[in-house]
Structure 1
Amino acid sequence: MFKKLVFTSAFAISSLAAQAAELTVDIAGITQLEGDIYVVLYDSVSAMESNKATLAYKGAVTKLQTTVTFSDLSAGDYAILAYQDLDNNQKLNRNMIGIPNEPYGFSNNPRLMGPPSFDKLRFAVGDVDHTIQISID
């Protein structure tokens, strides 16, 4: 009987570790009800550097705060870029020196001089659901 109990407990623990989490991203700071909101999720330095999103969301801006949910994420480190595409050209517009001129924000809400790095935007998702807040300006 003891062997069966140990096996059952070990199975329960291993199935908990294999569960995927849900990530909720609350976006605040929207000031204009126009265009689309993009939320781009990266799972590694190389994915971010090559602009290969792990998952992405696009939706019309209909209110000044929005929530996006990514389901079935494996435990690990992630980084997020969120931006409001005011002119619906499907990209984050930049001025002549490369500074974005549409509202944008990142996971961890860092104030950056220059392009973001995965390390500055990194946050961990474990085996339980997780929520982060991003403010776009």
Structure 2
Amino acid sequence: MKILSIVLLLGLILSLSLTAKPPVNEVLVNDGKLHQLTVELHQVNSEYKSVYLYVYDEAEERVFSKTISPAQAMQPIIFEGVESGSYAIYAHQNKDDDPTLNTSPAGVPLEPLGFANNPVLMGPPAFQDISVGISEDTKVSINLMTYG
């Protein structure tokens, strides 16, 4: 009975590995095609100020950014003309009127922020943790979290 259970488990693992999709944050090569990136933000606070949304390429250069009101942030945010590739996506909402993310003396964010893939973080994220591969029109959902 024990051997049969092990054989069935190995068969299940093998079948899952054969049908698994590549990871979301796999680095993609630019094929010259342009796509639409749609970002949906959740947990936007209507009483706070502007929301800042940034898209970075693999060289960690900012390629797209938008500053929008909380009301606009509750609607899908669309970036047109995004080349195929891997992009890190970051958003934060300001409690005041400066575009800087305020942090505590220990470096803990004091304003809501979120990243693509909604990772659980214990420090600054790595590119691969917050990046998405874009090879077609893509929708990304980001939950804004308050840490401090």
Q: Fold match, TM over 0.5?
A: yes
The structure 2 residue matched to 1:114, chosen from 105, 123, 142, is 123
CA contact (8 A) 1:33 1:62 kept: no
Shift of 1:24: 0.1
Q: Distance in 2 between matches of 1:26 and 1:74?
A: 19
Q: 1:53, CA displacement in angstroms?
A: 1.3
Q: CA deviation at 1:85?
A: 1.1
- The worse-fitting range, judged by mean Cα deviation, of 59-68 and 20-29 is 59-68
Unaligned runs of 5+ in 2: 1-30
- The unaligned stretches of length 5 or more in structure 1 are 1-16
Post-superposition CA distance 1:91-135 (Å, at most 9, x none): 110011001000000000001001011011111000x21101000
Residue 60 of structure 1 corresponds to: 69
Do residues 77 (structure 1) and 91 (structure 2) align? no
Equivalent residue number for residue 7 of structure 2: none
- Count of residue pairs the alignment pairs up: 115
Query: Equivalent residue for 1:124?
Result: 133
Alpha-carbon separation, structure 2, partners of 1:63 and 1:76: 27
Q: What's the C-alpha RMSD, in Å, of the aligned pairs?
A: 1.5
Q: Report the TM-score, using the length of structure 2 for normalisation.
A: 0.72
> How far 1:86 sits from its partner (Å)?
1.4
The change in CA–CA distance for 1:95 and 1:66 in structure 2 (over 3 A counts) is farther
1:32: how far off?
3.4
Q: Determine whether 1:43 maps to 2:57.
A: yes
Q: Equivalent pairs: percent with the same residue? A: 29
Length-normalised TM-score, structure 1? 0.78
